Structure formats: structure tokens, C-alpha cells
Structure 1
């Protein structure tokens, strides 16, 4: 470790993440996982090192609520750090990264999208799957159109929106529709899952196929409807340290938090499934 590197690190304070969890993170990354698979170093957040500066995270739109919570916890655990997020469609984020946008961490909603970044040589180490997500149908509150299946979405006069097939939620929806042998022409294709859900929240659409986590985050603004074909279209979410990360040390620590027991508790509480 260089002398300048030592000056940029300090002892981890005890905060909401919990002293025991922080010590575990600093020693070995996420519980039962090899931190090397995410580009993280087992010494990236050790007890005698200081973390500081901004960590820039590009993350799939569906991670907004849970990652915002984790960012706040990270900042409390590491005074002097700031986590800034760019949430959006994974394909757009990947294009930004391969185009040279400065970022430290990429969390995508599918391995296919992450592959765009790894193929370009823009990750440091191999991405690691940290959660999985499943689709649901979001309907208007109370489900006034009595939607109970994917097939119901094909009813005449029903306005349905989907994510564009270029983004993971859209690709997953298409896979589910094919599994159910359902042919659906949506009123619009949206560039990320939040945009699709917002159409229903604003009553500009009667239903949308989105992630279970987004339905849960919307609360009583929508009604979620499960459907069996969702089991054929579960998305794995990979996370990776980026090759030219401006703040690689703190970025590794953030990835460790995401993959830790505390991070997983936040994510599963939001409706995500463990890998």
C-alpha cells in the first residue's frame, strides 16, 4: 500500500450497519462469498483504514429504493464519504460506462447487460450476482379490470405498458409472454421499469409488467398481480467494480456492504430474492 493510500483511509466508526457486520465486511467481504469475484479486496475496508470521497454507483432503476438506503448506511458508517447514484435502464447505463462516463460501481438488472461492460474490458474482476428479481403485473388500485393473468392483458380496450425489450425488465416480460404463449401489443414501451410503473400510478395505463420490488415500493398506488410465467423469467442482478473507478477503495467497501448480511436484509426486505 502506498503512503498516499494510507492517508486516504481511517478507522471505521460504528453506525447503523453494526460493528460486528462492519468487522466481518472488512475481513472477508460478504458472508460466505469470495470478494475477489466482485473485484473487492479482503483488505479494502480494514479497521485501521480510512475511506473518504465520493462513490459513484450506476444502478438499475429497480434498485433505487434499496440502494438509496444502503448508500445512507454506508455514509453513516464512513463519515467523509458520499454515495451518488445514477439510476436508469441498465442498457443506457452500460452504454454510458463503455462510452467513458466516470463511475465506480455498476449494478445491472441482468447478466446480459453486464456482459456489455465486461466485454468492453471496463470491469475490474468478475461481476458477482447479489440478488434476483421476479415480475408482477401492476394494475390500478383495487384492480378494477380484474386482471388475474398475462392473458387478461390482451383484452380489448385495456391499456398496457411494457419496458422496452432492450432493458432487462422488458426482456424478462417478453420471455414470460412467450412462456405463456401470449401475444401482446402494448400501448407503449418504456425505457426503464420506473417509467412503466409511473404510467399506472398516474392512471395513464391500466396495467404494466414490472418487477415485484417496484410494485412493493409503490405501496397503495398500484395493485400487484402474480402470474405463474414469472418463474420462467427471473433476473439475476450482477454487481462489479469498474476498471477505471475514481474511488476504487471506497467502491469495494460499498460492494461488500451490498453483498453482506446487512445488505441482503435490506434487499430482501424490498422484495428481492437471494441468489
Structure 2
């Protein structure tokens, strides 16, 4: 198990072992997901940046509801939205931006209005120890520096474009990647010197990269919406999974992974 996965599971363990007033305050947010009797397989299409936290929440859901199984499809939000509107069977969609969620809602593919459950902010991922001494977004425009961005059609790429515009910067990357994990992997494999990814991805990577904050990121914060899908094969169980994500328990797991609360 990765260090990030272990940390998330430890957070869940801490949640389940809390007692007294804390447990009482959490009951309103999580009692329905803990007590509802559900069964079957829940298929969740989720943004790639949710991989670590949602995997842990899926394991917790299965523990709370014996006989259930949560399966995930993690990818770029635009790819997932296109799959859903194209008829791919799924129960839940968790997107990294309202724009990609709108592709699904406007197609009439959600069972109700989406709700925001987390927020995420960009960070520069550099090689371990930051050997190129990158200290700002402007430093990414230095000649000879190999920088990777997400494609502008996916939320992390759209956010990167906003951040660069906020800084009045023009940057031509060595490649555009289809999701944030692919962009991060380029740096982890030392195929690139830096990438613009989410804070959560830098945190999940541990010592494989070094993160650098930059003020323009505040101009490009992404809201993460989640929704039950219209033709969900297991709607009851899917709704309970959504409740777990939005509960105090789920929110602690997400914030421990580096997400911001809505």
C-alpha cells in the first residue's frame, strides 16, 4: 500500500474509533450511510485526482455494507463525461469541475442536481528536491525547462490556463496529458522537469516529487461536484455512497488528502 493510501486509511480508522461528543456530532452527516441496508455493485466514474481518497472511501463503504462492492473508473473528467453521455453504465459521477459535470446534466443523464463536495488547487510538481530551483509560476517559462500540462479540455488543464492568464504568462509545454495523474507521472519518471497538477496529487506522490505553491493558483480553484446518474443500475446503494462522501467522515478523508472543503 502506498504511503498516501495508508494515510487515508488511518484517517478512516480514526474516524471510526472516535467517540463521545465527536461521534454525536458526526451522526447527522453519516448515520444514513452507516445504517442503510443496501446491496449490489456501485460503479463510480471519478476524476483521476480522486483516486486515493475515493479508493479508501470505497473500502470503507464495503466494510459498512457487507455484500456491496464499489468499482471505480478513474480518468480525465471530460473522458468520463463523454462515456456517460455515450451510454456507459454507471451509478455515480464525481467530476473535477462544474463544466464537465454540466456535459452530463445538460444531456439529462443525472437523477438530480449535482452537489459540490470538495475543492482543489494547483501546485507545481518538480523533481525531488527541486533541483531547478523553481520558485514561481514564471520560472516555468525558463528556456530549456521541460514542463508538462494537462490538456485544456480536462479540468486541471483549464485551471492551468486560468492560472497562467492570471500571471500574464505564455507557456508551451513539452506535452499535454489527458489527466492529472499522467502529467504527474512524467515528472515522477524524470521525463519532465515540472508539471502543473493539483495539491492532492503532489501530496499523494510523497517523496517522488517536490511541490511548489504559487499565488496565481488562487485564481483557478476547482469545485468538485458529485451526482447520482439517471439510469444508475444500483441507485439506492449509489445514493448511500454519495452520502458517505459528503458526510463528516468522508470530508475528513478528503481534507487529509489535501482537498479543501466546499
TM-score normalised according to structure 1 size: 0.85
Cα drift, residue 25 of structure 1 = 3.0
3-state DSSP of counterpart to 2:111: strand
Contact 2:30-2:249 within 8 A present in 1 as well? no
Mapped to 1, the partners of 2:159 and 2:88 lie a distance apart of 27
CA deviation string 1:174-225 (max 9, x = no partner) = 0000000010000000000000000000000000000000000000000000
CA deviation string 1:31-86 (max 9, x = no partner) = xxxxxxxxxxxxxx584x52111000000000000000000000000000000000
Question: 5+ unaligned residues in a row in structure 2: which ranges?
Answer: 1-11, 17-22
- What are the equivalent positions in structure 2 for 1:52-131 lying under 5 Å apart? 52-131=39-118
2:8 is aligned to none
Q: 2:214 aligns with which of 208, 224, 227?
A: 227
State the number of aligned residues: 243
Contact 1:57-1:104 within 8 A present in 2 as well? yes
Mapped to 1, the partners of 2:195 and 2:245 lie a distance apart of 28
Mapped to 1, the partners of 2:256 and 2:241 lie a distance apart of 19
Q: 1:25 to 1:173 in 2, by over 3 A?
A: same
Mapped to 1, the partners of 2:59 and 2:38 lie a distance apart of 15
Question: 5+ unaligned residues in a row in structure 1: which ranges?
Answer: 1-14, 28-44
- What are the equivalent positions in structure 2 for 1:1-275 lying under 5 Å apart? 18=16, 21=26, 24-27=29-32, 47=35, 49-275=36-262
Root-mean-square deviation (Å): 1.5
1:41 is aligned to none
Mapped to 1, the partners of 2:28 and 2:256 lie a distance apart of 23
Q: 1:24 to 1:182 in 2, by over 3 A?
A: closer
CA deviation string 1:110-152 (max 9, x = no partner) = 0000000000000011000000000000000000000011110
Contact 2:98-2:225 within 8 A present in 1 as well? yes
Contact 1:23-1:46 within 8 A present in 2 as well? no
Contact 2:29-2:246 within 8 A present in 1 as well? no
2:4 is aligned to none
- Largest Rg, 1 or 2: 1
Q: 1:46 to 1:177 in 2, by over 3 A?
A: closer
3-state DSSP of counterpart to 2:157: helix
